[in-house]
Amino acid sequence: MTPLAAILVRDMRIAVRVGGGALIGVLFFLVVVTLVPFALGPDLALLKRIGPAILWLAALLASLLALDRLFAADHDDGSLDLVLTGRAPMELVVAAKGLAHWLTTGLPLVIAAPLIGLFLNLDAPAAAALVLTLLVGTPALTFIGLIGAAIAVTLRRGGLLLAVLVLPLTVPVLIFGVAAANAAVTGPVPFGTPFTILCALTLASLVVGPFAAAAALRQEME
């Protein structure tokens, strides 16, 4: 097994075991989305109109939920020190950890979204568009979140700082994710325009995230 595959397998294994965060994200997602109809009342037309936005907001919050322990746990038990004595570049280690985190928290959100969308009166085409935008957009949320997780690694209350640092950076992803999901249902913009920009945002964050997070971790090591 290569070093990076070892990181990926280990992190996914920890996430699905006792105390891992794999299911927490989906449960949080479910709870937040379920609360919305209770707050707004059973106005089906309204729920349908704001449904994609609610689901995107809930997915954004849920994908940040378990992120604060991503590097902090490795820092606290000394794993991060040993990672630096490995021969794999820090940037790729960070990317492998991000991928493992997305596979265990981001991907379940994408899979659960059409089901949970039923609470918000989403029909099949809207649900399909939503799943597609979440599938493309949630990796961007995770990889932008990596930067915040790396900066907050030595702080006790890192989770709060993480949210404050990361949420503003996710605004473009949120705008174009929701715009694409809405465009598929209501128009007038074609689905492709915001969706392409969303893809571009994800590709950029896949590159920038690991480099920025690795630089932050190296700085914290001092």
Partner 1 sequence: MRLSATDLACRRGGREVFANISFSVAAGESLTIRGRNGAGKSSLLRMIVGLVRIAGGQLSLQGGDPELSVGEQAHYLGHLDALKPSLSVEENLRFWSAFLGAAAVDLSEPLRTVGLEALADLPAAYLSAGQRRRLSIARLLAVKRPLWLLDEPTSTLDAAAQARLGEIMRAHLADGGIILAATHGPLQLEGARELDLDGVSAPRHPAEVSA
Q: Which stretch binds partner 1 (CB under 8 A): 74-82, 98-106, 129-137, 139-147?
A: 74-82
Candidates 86, 125, 190, 192; binder of partner 1 (CB under 8 A) is: 86
Q: Which is nearer to partner 1, 22 or 163 (CB)?
A: 22
Candidates 42, 78, 168, 188; binder of partner 1 (CB under 8 A) is: 78
For position 84 contacting partner 1 by CB under 8 A, the verdict is yes
Q: Which is nearer to partner 1, 6 or 40 (CB)?
A: 6
Q: Which stretch binds partner 1 (CB under 8 A): 12-20, 132-140, 151-159, 199-207?
A: 12-20
For position 89 contacting partner 1 by CB under 8 A, the verdict is no
For position 221 contacting partner 1 by CB under 8 A, the verdict is yes
**67 Cα distance to chain centroid:** 8
For position 22 contacting partner 1 by CB under 8 A, the verdict is no
d(CA 115, CA 127): 9
Contacts of partner 1 in 117-146 (CB under 8 A): none
Candidates 31, 35, 40, 77; binder of partner 1 (CB under 8 A) is: 77
For position 82 contacting partner 1 by CB under 8 A, the verdict is yes
For position 41 contacting partner 1 by CB under 8 A, the verdict is no
90 and 119 in contact (C-beta within 8 Å)? no
For position 14 contacting partner 1 by CB under 8 A, the verdict is yes
Q: Which is nearer to partner 1, 43 or 77 (CB)?
A: 77
CA gyration radius, the chain? 18
Residues that bind partner 1 (CB under 8 A): 1-3, 5-7, 9-10, 13-14, 17-20, 76-79, 81-88, 221-222
